[in-house]
Amino acid sequence: MGFSEIDSDAISTYCENFNEEGSRNFGDITKIESLPQHDFMTAGVPCQSWSIAGKNLGFDDDRGQLWNDALYLLNKVRPKAFIFENVKGLSDPRNQDALNYILGRIKDAGYYAKPYLLNAFDYGVPQHRIRIYIIGFRDKKFADNFSLPMPSEFKVRLRDVLDNGSVPKGQLFDSATSRWSLSMNIKGMNDYFLFNDIRDGQTTIHSWDILDTTERQKEICLMILRNRRKRIYGKLDGNPLSLENLQSLDESVTQGEVDELVEKGILRPEEYLFRKQSCSKALDEDEWVVLNSSKGNTLNVDDLKTDRNLKIKKVNVLKTLDSLVKKGAVKCVETRYDFKNSKISTGLFGVNRIFLPSSNIYPTLVASDTNDFITSTEIDADNIEDFRKDFLDKVYKTHNFRKITKAEACRIQGFPDNYLLPSTRPRWMKLIGNSVAVPVINKLANAVVATGVFD
């Protein structure tokens, strides 16, 4: 048995928990020329190149190239079977060519393989964690014998794994009262509240719900929220709107009203459209690349942010534009306005989501941790207005919520409570978030063994 890892915490944690010698680590996969002969290979290369949380650069990202190293070793060692794991994004249409390339390399190596999308929630943990698993065999008859393990009949729910949970383990999950992504109660209302200014929903809390705002200010905020994703305003998933844009929707909106929302910290001004100017000052490489990426005499931010060439070159668009303005190479000719809090995962005021104790499922654990919290306070109301009010009064305003503990994170990912991990939260959360859901891999490995490939 051996492994390839470069992260010091991951190495020491693995060796400590499984009583392995550090010499079992083959080190940096990019420097491995060969491996000892073995029958079963598992691999999970870094996911950022394919994740929606990254820049979606795929093989244009150095981390995406690690797939080639894994495939090289597969072809070099030629084990009887393998399991490769990666994020769901690898199976998305935008990455279809990359997935086809990987499957093609595997086929060229003489393997019979198929990709599968599985959610960890179906296999014994209360976590929404969809991953792609590529499972392959050197011999076709074993590939034909392989079948996916059946999902667990009894689903573990979030409250089953929380400290001081009040519900016995193994409760039957009622799919009729919950949706695929997260969770709803029996009255059809979400079992969690989302703190966000760029999405809307019955249990979404906006900054204008928390801060002292007038009804008129709430109307303007909702108008921006409901229009910022329309394609007429730009190419991005969410686009800033100019005063002229707002007045085309409601001609009574004034600059003063927009400025008040900026002062409250709900909106922020963004320099959006720039016109080229004659400039005698020397420009660096990034500035020239940005300046020459425009069509005509103007530059707009959404064109630059979606320019793949700039992503590959890792050009910081906003920083470079600011530098060009200071050198007089471009001049801002249009300012637009967007919500100050415009990142979904960041949430508002340090809170992204708060999950009620009745929730069936928790979101995907990630290495960077999240601003997700849980509360032990039960909320019961017959209508959404009272549901929201009770939540704000009994949970949010009283700060009656907390982050999950180390032991809870272990259970959500399928590790035992006593699994040895580093002491500080950023370090143990990085390891747990980067890990696979243990029950999924356990059942997949057993399914591979059940084909008789190792007999």
- Please write the tens of the pLDDT for every residue from 367-402: 989 999 999 999 989 999 999 999 999 999 999 999
91 pLDDT exceeds 70? yes
What pLDDT is stored for residue 124 in this prediction? Answer: 92
* pLDDT one-digit tens code per residue, 192-231: 999 999 999 899 999 999 999 999 999 999 999 999 999 9
- Kindly state the percentage of the chain with pLDDT values over 70: 92
What pLDDT is stored for residue 77 in this prediction? Answer: 92
**Which 3 state secondary structure label does DSSP give 407?**
helix
Helices and strands, counts by H and E, the chain: 17, 11
Q: Which residue has the higher pLDDT, 173 or 312?
A: 312
Active site (catalytic) residues: 47
How far is it, in rounded angstroms, from Cα 209 to Cα 341?
Answer: 14
What pLDDT is stored for residue 165 in this prediction? Answer: 57
How far is it, in rounded angstroms, from Cα 48 to Cα 59?
Answer: 11
Residue 168: pLDDT band with limits 50, 70, 90: very low
What pLDDT is stored for residue 346 in this prediction? Answer: 87
Per mean pLDDT, which range of 45-54, 164-173, 303-312 is the poorest? 164-173
173 pLDDT exceeds 80? no
CATH 3.40.50.150, the chain: domain bounds? 8-154+424-449
What pLDDT is stored for residue 237 in this prediction? Answer: 86
pTM of the model: 0.83
Averaged pLDDT for residues 242-263: 97
**Which 3 state secondary structure label does DSSP give 23?**
helix
Distances (CA, A) of 68 to 62, 65, 133, 141: 11, 6, 17, 27
What pLDDT is stored for residue 358 in this prediction? Answer: 85
7 pLDDT exceeds 50? yes
At the topology level, CATH places domain 8-154+424-449 in: Rossmann fold (3.40.50)
What pLDDT is stored for residue 48 in this prediction? Answer: 53
Averaged pLDDT for residues 425-448: 96
- Using CB atoms within 10 Å of the CB of residue 369, give its burial: 0 to 12 exposed, 13 to 18 middle, 19+ buried: middle
CB 387 within 8 A of CB 205: no
Tokens at 220, concatenated: 């303007």
Residue indicated by tokens 């719900």: 209
Residues 323-338 as b/e (b if ≥16 CB within 10 A, e otherwise) read bbeebebbeeebebbb
Residue 312: pLDDT band with limits 50, 70, 90: confident
Element (H, E) at 275: strand 267-276
Tokens at 52, concatenated: 């929606």
425 pLDDT exceeds 90? yes
- Using CB atoms within 10 Å of the CB of residue 69, give its burial: 0 to 12 exposed, 13 to 18 middle, 19+ buried: middle
Q: Which residue has the higher pLDDT, 237 or 185?
A: 237
Averaged pLDDT for residues 262-289: 93
* pLDDT one-digit tens code per residue, 325-356: 999 999 999 999 999 998 888 899 999 999 99
Averaged pLDDT for residues 104-123: 95
Q: Which of 304, 322, 326 minimizes the C-alpha distance to 313?
A: 304
59 pLDDT exceeds 50? no
